[in-house]
């Protein structure tokens, strides 16, 4: 199975319901429509189906072993202490708990550690804009840019977030997103970068998608990370994608 297709708990439960036949007719129709148009979702469904089959097979095998042990014990004519059924982890936990455990192992720390490693390898803040302070125009913006370029992201964010919405427009939004990401707040970074990436011809369009992809990668959201990096198309984005697709 390919761990590149990270699956959220909500999506995992939807796929499970689809495979188990517990979705309503409208939910099933909507899901199948999405499934036909999304190759990544098709792979995720295949992965979950394989995982469920593996769990069911493990449980059945264990129960058969317990059954045969009980037969051998009953057929033995020499009195001996009653044998307790051998209970493996899957059998003892039951199907639902086993499924949760398997999902945690499959979708949890392995992909998360790999994504964090990729993020740590490739993330560097945007170097920022030249800070020529000869003009009073946009002084507050460039004053904060000085803090940003010194690595004082808290100060830069505090100053930039007090500026009117029209100040520097897309440029301000972009640098606020990158500053929050550099300040280890990927959730806040996405709040700025995701809407900006949807605007027609925003400033720093490719860079916005690149840092948005890194923010999703840090959140261990591989699917959205890959979409943003593909939209970026920068050399750095392509390098990360190549490693994610290995």
> Per-residue pLDDT for the chain (246 aa), expressed as one digit of tens each?
443 446 777 888 888 888 888 888 888 999 999 999 988 888 888 888 877 766 555 555 555 555 555 545 555 544 444 444 444 433 444 555 555 545 444 444 446 688 999 999 999 999 999 876 545 558 889 999 999 999 999 999 999 999 987 778 999 999 999 999 999 999 999 999 999 999 998 889 999 999 999 999 999 999 999 999 999 999 999 999 999 987
- What is the per-residue pLDDT for 81? 46
CA distance 179 to 125: 7
Residue pointed to by tokens 């199907």: 95
Domain count, the chain: 2
User: Does some domain include residue 204?
Assistant: yes
3-state secondary structure at position 6: coil
Residue 112 domain-assigned? no
Tell me if 197 is assigned to some domain: yes
**Smallest Cα–Cα separation from 182: which of 200, 197, 206, 160?**
160
Query: What are the helix and strand counts (H, E) for the chain?
Result: 13, 0
d(CA 82, CA 108): 40
Rg from Cα positions in the chain: 26
User: How far is CA 37 from its chain centroid?
Assistant: 21
Same domain (yes/no): 92, 143: no
Structure tokens at 159: 């100053």
Half-sphere exposure of 86 (CA within 13 A, CB side): 11
Residue bearing tokens 């295949």: 46
At residue 228, the pLDDT reads 97
Structural domain harbouring 233: 119-244
Q: Are residues 90 and 130 in the same domain?
A: no
pLDDT at 3: 39
Q: What is the CATH number of the domain that holds 222?
A: 1.25.40.10
Q: So what's the pLDDT on residue 113? A: 81
Out of 63, 86, 107, pick the residue that ends a domain.
107
102 and 123 fall within a common domain: no
The number of angstroms, rounded, from the C-alpha of 54 to the middle of its chain's C-alpha atoms is: 24
Confidence (pTM): 0.57
């Amino acid at each position: 199975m390919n761990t590149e297709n990270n699956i959220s708990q909500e999506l995992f439960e939807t796929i499970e319901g689809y495979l188990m036949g517990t979705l309503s007719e409208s939910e099933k129709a909507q899901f199948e429509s999405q499934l036909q148009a999304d190759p990544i979702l098709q792979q995720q469904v295949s992965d979950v189906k394989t995982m469920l089959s593996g769990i069911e097979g493990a449980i059945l095998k264990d129960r058969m072993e317990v059954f045969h042990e009980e037969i051998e014990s009953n057929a033995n004519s020499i009195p001996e202490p009653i044998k307790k059924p051998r209970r493996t982890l899957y059998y003892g936990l039951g199907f639902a708990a086993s499924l949760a455990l398997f999902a945690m192992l499959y979708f949890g720390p392995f992909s998360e550690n790999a994504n964090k490693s990729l993020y740590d390898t490739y993330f560097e803040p945007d170097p920022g804009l030249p800070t020529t302070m000869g003009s009073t125009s946009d002084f507050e913006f460039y004053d904060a840019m000085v803090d940003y370029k010194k690595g004082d992201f808290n100060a830069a964010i505090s100053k930039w977030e007090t500026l009117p919405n029209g100040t520097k427009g897309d440029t301000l939004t972009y640098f606020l997103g990158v500053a929050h990401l550099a300040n280890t707040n990927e959730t806040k970074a996405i709040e700025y970068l995701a809407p900006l990436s949807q605007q027609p011809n925003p400033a720093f369009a490719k860079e916005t998608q690149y840092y948005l992809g890194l923010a999703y990668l840090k959140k261990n959201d591989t699917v959205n990370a890959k979409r943003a990096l593909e939209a970026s198309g920068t050399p750095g984005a392509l390098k990360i994608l190549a490693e994610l697709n290995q």
